[in-house]
Amino acid sequence: MRFAKTLAAVAAALSIGIASAQEVGKTAPAFDLPSSNPQNVKLADLKGRVVYVDFWASWCAPCKQSFPWMNDMQAKYGAKGLTIIGVNVDKKRDDADKFLSGTPAKFTVAYDTTGKVAESYQPKGMPTSFLIGADGVVRAVHVGFRDKDREDLEREIAAALTASGRK
């Protein structure tokens, strides 16, 4: 019994070191990254818009599936106040560009080659998306991308746009 208690204490002590992931209800960490646009993409510039930040990599198969859907969402809700930013986490930008030539993105792609932004958001898998409301607060976090996720994700985006008062 005493041994079990000690073991529990040790486990607790060890787990303290694990960084906490970005959670719903917290302010989204700022970022400033080179992008597919001529200028850098800054989260601060997008205040007042609903931002869908999606972490992806060229080596991630579900990411490939999510791109056409994100293109659709950007086309459908862009005018209503949605900005999709695909944050690429490849170490080499070439890998990302190769992926993009086969899987075009009709939204802003940002390049986080150092992984610093990924570190501040702590995505738990690839892809992971963070839906950030117009107030800059994370509204939803979603890990992975499956066909059946589409409707739920779209509903969340629509709800975020409604909450922002833009509709």
Partner 1 sequence: MKRVILLVTAVMLVAGCESMPKVQPWQKGNLAKPEMAFDPDTLEARFADHTYFSKEAASGGAGVGGGGCGCN
Contact set with partner 1 (CB under 8 A): 6, 10, 13-14, 17, 55, 57-60, 89-91, 95, 115, 118-119, 122-126, 128
Q: How far is the CB of 68 from partner 1 (least distance, A)?
A: 21
Nearer to partner 1, 81 or 127 (CB): 127
For residue 25, give every residue at least 6 positions away whose Cβ sits within 8 Å of its Cβ, in sequence order, or none: 137, 138
Q: Which is nearer to partner 1, 77 or 130 (CB)?
A: 130
Question: Distance between CA 111 and CA 37 in Å, rounded?
Answer: 11
Considering the complex, what minimum distance in angstroms separates the CB of residue 88 from partner 1?
10
CB-based contacts of 5: which residues, under 8 Å, 6+ apart? none
Q: Provide the minimum distance between the beta carbon of 100 and partner 1 in the complex, in angstroms, as a whole number.
A: 16
- Among 105, 143, 140, which Cα is nearest to 124's? 143
Shortest distance (Å) from residue 109 CB to partner 1: 15
Nearer to partner 1, 74 or 88 (CB): 88
Among 56, 53, 27, which residue's Cα sits nearest to residue 41? 53
Between β-strands 32-33 and 82-88, what pairing exists: parallel, antiparallel or unpaired? unpaired
